[in-house]
Amino acid sequence: METYGKIFVVVAVLAVILIGIFVYLFFIDRKIGKLEKEISEKESHKHQ
Amino acid sequence: MLKQYWWKILSLLLLLYAVTYGFYVAIPESMILQTMRNLFYHVGMWFGMFTMLTVSFIYSLRYLKGFREENDRVAIEAVNVGLLFGFLGIFTGMIWANFTWGAPWVKDPKLNGAAVGLVIYLAYIILRSSVEDRHKRAKVSAVYNIFAFVLWIIFVLILPRLAGDSLHPATGNNSTPVLPMHLDPSMRTVFYPAMIGWILLGTWILQIRVRLSKIRHLLEEL
């Protein structure tokens, strides 16, 4: 492992970026879920 | 199943595993040294693209069976995500090629095939934007998409293997054993999980795009 020389610092950075991107995607996902709910509520109002 | 979250978390875990253990797993000695680890990331882009194009192909077939617009929406969005992966695959490949072959773009059947493959699907996007009527657009592009998928397979997966002088592994005379099936066993423990992780990530992005597209459609109708 000595030949890698502190590669774990780079690995940690990559891991943080990856987690960050996934958390970001998760929030986008949730926002879309809220939009979908709003639209379906409007739809049901229209049909009443 | 797609509405649940577990496969999104699984994707994160698999990719986390790939970007961490992928740097520590033992790799066989070769001329390309440590860059062999690119296999976990660069090849993932092509697995992602191929999966998206397959999804698009299936949904185009479905569209032609019942002309339901929601199938057409999945088809176009899958091509969009597929192109994202395709361009990332080309660019990451250029970085890797610059080291292994001495130039970002070399004369190689696989590279040319991949470039033609991207052009085929860019033409799909252009074709769509050139038809005004949305039912006609969906029909014409579904038919084109079926041809496009077949052509893509021929150009990217079949012709480079027949060409026989590709620099890419396991094509023609080049028998460097780096095709997944002949991959070093220790590398396989990262390769397969990584590929599944990339495919799931692509599926998630596709799902987001399809849902947005559906919302846009519903708003137009309100």
Q: What is the ipTM metric for this complex?
A: 0.84
pLDDT tens per residue across span B145-188: 999 999 999 999 888 888 766 677 655 444 444 455 667 888 89
pLDDT, tens only, B47-80: 999 999 999 999 999 999 999 999 999 999 999 9
State the Cα–Cα distance between residues B50 and B57, nearest whole angstrom.
10
Contact map slice: B 182-221 vs A, CB within 8 A: 204-205, 208, 211-212, 215, 218-219
Task: Find the angle CA(B33)-CA(B118)-CA(B136) to the nearest 5 degrees.
Answer: 155
Residue B177 has a pLDDT of 43
Dump pLDDT digits (tens) for A8-33.
888 999 999 999 999 999 999 999 99
Residue numbers of A between 6 and 25 with CB closer than 8 Å to B: 7, 10-11, 14-15, 18-19, 22, 25
- Give me the percent of chain B exceeding a pLDDT of 90: 71
DSSP state of B35: G
Contact B60, B132 (CB under 8 A): no
**How many Å apart are CA A40 and CA A17, to the nearest integer?**
35
Contact (CB, 8 A) for B41 and B216? no
pLDDT the model gives residue B180: 59
Quote the CA–CA distance of B3 and B25 in Å, as a whole number: 34
Q: Which of B36, B39, B45 is nearest to B156 (CA)?
A: B45
Q: Are the beta carbons of B19 and A36 separated by less than 8 Å?
A: no
Listed residue (B198, B186, B175, B197) closest to B46, CA to CA: B198
Q: What is the pLDDT of residues B178-195, one digit of tens each?
A: 455 667 888 899 999 999
According to the model, what pLDDT value does residue B173 have? 47
Q: How far, in Å, CA of A31 to CA of A36, rounded?
A: 9
Among B73, B58, B83, which Cα is nearest to B212's? B73
Q: Do A39 and B204 touch (CB under 8 A)?
A: no
Q: Which residue has the tokens 């597209």?
A: B213
Q: Report whether B57 contacts B146 (CB < 8 A).
A: yes
Task: Return mean pLDDT, chain B.
Answer: 90
**pLDDT, position B184:** 82
- pLDDT at position B169, please? 66
Give the pLDDT score at B172. 46
Phi, psi of B171 (to 5 degrees): -120, 130
Q: What does the block give as tokens for B68?
A: 């339901």
**What does the block give as tokens for B77?**
């969005």
pLDDT bucket at A47, cuts 50 / 70 / 90: confident
pLDDT in tens, B7-31: 999 999 999 999 999 999 988 887 7
Q: Is the pLDDT at B36 greater than 70, yes or no? A: yes
